[in-house]
């Protein structure tokens, strides 16, 4: 199997980037997309060229490191999957693939396909937690939590922080990411005490990072590798409005 690749190369944060064409040959459909990049990189190394920089770590869809758009789609063509979970059987022999990093003001490109997503960490640092110190916890079964609520909280908590939602959004909005954390903690009894401050602080932090607003296109939901629902955004908006009204 053979693929024509157009890959974004950019030497550093400051430099201009451009697409560079590579031919990848001798591939098999059971190879993963990232393994194909490994093969290309080994070839470039042998030829004395610098390999393509890209982020990846667990290669099983949970660490959230791998972040690239394939033919304009964040994480490529498969629903509910990260880039590392895309296998070449998803493409046609001879197909051209355009590969580029996340495009968003709040995620500046560092090199080639590597973008800086530290904005997400700063949003969590602003309030995405329950303030409970080590050793302060009551018995785990002291607070019953309905199965349905626990499942819903898990659905939100399953976010891997990859940033595909931002990359897919025409406004580069981080609403799905923020709403997932607001919902995860806001659904559970443990998160109630700080629920109102949390949503306000996180929204302020999100805005300060330069993410855009939500205009209900739902592109985020469509590309989310963990299939997190835009219902979370509605929940966050309700929480936020409630918190603001409470202050009046």
Partner 1 sequence: MKLDARIPAGPLAEKWTRFKANVRLVSPANKRKYEVIVVGTGLAGASAAASLAELGYQVKSFCFQDSPRRAHSIAAQGGINAAKNYQNDGDSVRRLFQDTIKGGDFRSREANVHRLAEVSVNIIDQCVAQGVPFAREYGGMLANRSFGGAQVSRTFYARGATGQQLLLGAYQALSRQIGLGKVTMMPRHEMLDLVVEEGQAKGIVTRHLVTGELKTHAADAVLLCTGGYGNAYYLSTYARGSNVTATWRAHRRGALFSNPCFTQIHPTCIPVTGEYQSKLTLMSESLRNDGRCWVPKAKGEQRAAVAIPEGERDYFLERLYPSYGNLAPRDIASRAAKRVCDEGRGVGPTGLGVYLDFSEAIGRLGESTVRERYANLFAMYHEITGESAYESPMRIFPAVHYTMGGLWVDYHLMSNVPGLFVLGEANFSDHGANRLGASALMQGLADGYFVLPYTIGDYLSQQKPRGEKADGPAFQEAMGATQARTKKLLGVNGRKPVSEFHRKLGKTLWDTCGMSRTKKGLEEGLAILGGLREEFWKDVKVPGSGADLNQSLEKAGRVADFLELGELMCRDALEREESCGCHFREEHQTSDGECARKDAEHSYVSAWEFKGEGKPEVRHTEPLSFEELALATRSYK
Task: Please give the residues from 153 up to 212 whose contact with partner 1 meets the rule CB under 8 A.
Answer: 153-154, 157-158, 160-161, 184-185, 188, 190-191
The helix-helix angle for 175-187 and 147-157 (nearest 10°) equals: 150
60 binds partner 1 (CB under 8 A): yes
Give CA–CA dist 137/248, Å, rounded. Answer: 34
The helix-helix angle for 175-187 and 231-247 (nearest 10°) equals: 70
Find the largest Cα–Cα distance for the chain: 66
Q: Which of 2, 4, 20, 58 binds partner 1 (CB under 8 A)?
A: 58
222 binds partner 1 (CB under 8 A): no
Q: What Rg value do the Cα atoms of the chain yield, rounded?
A: 20
87 binds partner 1 (CB under 8 A): yes
245 binds partner 1 (CB under 8 A): no
For 123, other C-beta atoms within 10 Å of its C-beta total 26
Q: Please, which residue, 125 or 215, has the CB nearer to partner 1? A: 125
Give CA–CA dist 242/49, Å, rounded. Answer: 56
14 binds partner 1 (CB under 8 A): no
CB of 24 to partner 1, least distance (A): 11
51 binds partner 1 (CB under 8 A): yes
Q: Which of 17, 73, 78, 103 binds partner 1 (CB under 8 A)?
A: 78
């Amino acid at each position: 199997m053979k693929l024509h690749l157009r890959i974004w190369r950019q030497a550093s944060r400051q430099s201009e980037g451009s697409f560079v064409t590579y031919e990848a040959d001798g591939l098999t459909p059971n190879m993963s997309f990232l393994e194909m990049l490994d093969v290309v990189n080994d070839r470039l190394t042998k030829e004395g060229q610098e390999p393509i920089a890209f982020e990846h770590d667990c290669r099983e869809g949970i660490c959230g490191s791998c972040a690239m758009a394939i033919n304009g789609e964040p994480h490529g063509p498969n629903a509910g999957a990260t880039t590392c979970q895309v296998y070449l059987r998803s493409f046609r022999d001879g197909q051209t693939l355009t590969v580029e990093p996340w495009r968003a003001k709040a995620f500046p490109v560092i090199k080639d396909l590597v973008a800086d997503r530290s904005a997400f960490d700063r949003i969590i640092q602003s309030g995405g937690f329950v303030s409970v110190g080590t050793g302060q916890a009551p018995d785990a079964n002291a607070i019953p939590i309905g199965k349905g609520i626990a499942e819903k909280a898990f659905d939100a908590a399953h976010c891997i922080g990859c940033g595909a939602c931002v990359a897919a959004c025409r406004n580069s909005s981080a609403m799905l990411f923020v709403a997932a954390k607001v919902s995860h903690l806001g659904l559970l009894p443990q998160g109630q005490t700080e629920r109102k401050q949390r949503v306000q602080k996180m929204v302020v932090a999100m805005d300060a990072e330069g993410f855009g607003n939500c205009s209900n296109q739902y592109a985020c939901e469509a590309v989310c590798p963990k299939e997190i629902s835009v219902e979370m955004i509605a929940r966050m908006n309700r929480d936020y409005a409630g918190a603001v009204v409470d202050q009046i």
